[in-house]
Amino acid sequence: MVNSMRKGCRELVEEMRKRGEKRQAFPLEFTGVGERDVYNITAPFEDEGEIVIAGRVERRESEESEVLFFVNRQGEWIPRVGSPSFPLQDPFFTRIGGQLIFGGVKTYPHPTRRGELWWRTVLYKGKNIRDLHPFFEGPQGMKDLRLVQLRDGSVGILTRPQGEKGGRGKIGFTTIPSLKALSEEIIVEAPLLSDQFLDEEWGGPNEPHLLTNGLIGVLGHIARFDEEGGRHYYPMVFSLDPMTHATSPIHVIAERRDFFEGPAKRPDLVDVVFSGGIVRNGDGTAILYAGISDAGAQMLLIQDPFLIFER
């Protein structure tokens, strides 16, 4: 495996367009939340025999978010009766040691910058959604903390520090023998993956998948500002060798114009696709579940982006 040279968003999007892969969007209708939006959803997953999706629910003019679990009833995703809600943003899930690991981003007033928010990733675990209880909080200022169980039973940790270590946001990785070894110190000291993002751009992991050959297929995002301050977010994937930390080149797999038109939370968020999760169909295709412009959610049928890493 050869590490990539750093490429920016524009070049990676052009590469995707030249591949000419077919993509087809499908709407997702969420109801039962009043005038609030549902966006930055997870991929669907099974809980107590029922398929659910977790989604970020909030008013268009607010950052005060609630994560709800939805079930499909006659084509509409409605809040699931009896499931707890969480005061978090950007939910995610994985399974480790037979347990459901659920997480999101907790926001709170910044300790030194008045009027601004600060955040950290919080993790819950349990045998199912009703059994979830908090067990870990990540470092202050770190979103996109993700865990994945590896082939030997150990746990891979994907991090995304910002600031002195990670600039606008870069991805780090380390491993621990089990969840019992998870600590803030280990997360903070996780080495950064090399040659991934231009210094003026940023990226982060959203959903790691353990591939058939033991590599980690990482679904994430890469992003940039334009000259007017507009944000541009693209779903991307790469593979990661958990033993050597070697990575494949980054592949952008979708862009905003692949999806249906719709509202945006703010003008600077029009060109934002947030990678929520991927379901691999087993026939060479996959479905990407994505938040759109911080105001909606859609799914996109694509070619399975992890197959190239399993050859």
In 40-183, which ranges are E strands?
A: 45-47, 50-58, 66-73, 76-79, 89-96, 99-109, 117-126, 133-137, 146-149, 155-159, 172-176
Q: What is the mean pLDDT of residues 23-47?
A: 97
Q: What is the mean pLDDT of residues 267-275?
A: 96
- Give the confidence band of 113 by pLDDT, cuts at 50, 70, 90: confident
Task: Report d(CA 310, CA 248) in Å as an integer.
Answer: 12
Task: Report d(CA 224, CA 213) in Å as an integer.
Answer: 32
**Dihedral pair phi/psi, residue 215, rounded to 5°:** -70, 165
Write the pLDDT tens digit of every residue in 115-136.
888 999 999 999 999 999 999 9
Amino acid identity of 81?
A: V
Among 199, 173, 207, 170, smallest CA distance to 288 is for 207
DSSP 152: T
- Residue 265 vs residues 13, 54, 62, 151: alpha-carbon distances, Å: 23, 19, 9, 40
For residue 71, pLDDT beyond 60? yes
Write the pLDDT tens digit of every residue in 39-65.
999 999 999 999 999 999 999 999 899
**Dihedral pair phi/psi, residue 122, rounded to 5°:** -120, 145
- Give the confidence band of 2 by pLDDT, cuts at 50, 70, 90: very low
Assessment of whether the complete model's pTM goes beyond 0.75: yes
Share of the chain above pLDDT 70, in %: 99
For residue 81, pLDDT beyond 90? yes
What's the mean per-residue pLDDT of the chain? Answer: 95
Q: Which residues, listed in sequence order, are joined to residue 109 by a DSSP beta bridge?
A: 117
Among 35, 39, 40, smallest CA distance to 59 is for 35
For residue 232, pLDDT beyond 80? yes
- pLDDT for 3 equals 46
- pLDDT for 4 equals 52
- Residue 186 vs residues 94, 142, 153: alpha-carbon distances, Å: 20, 13, 18
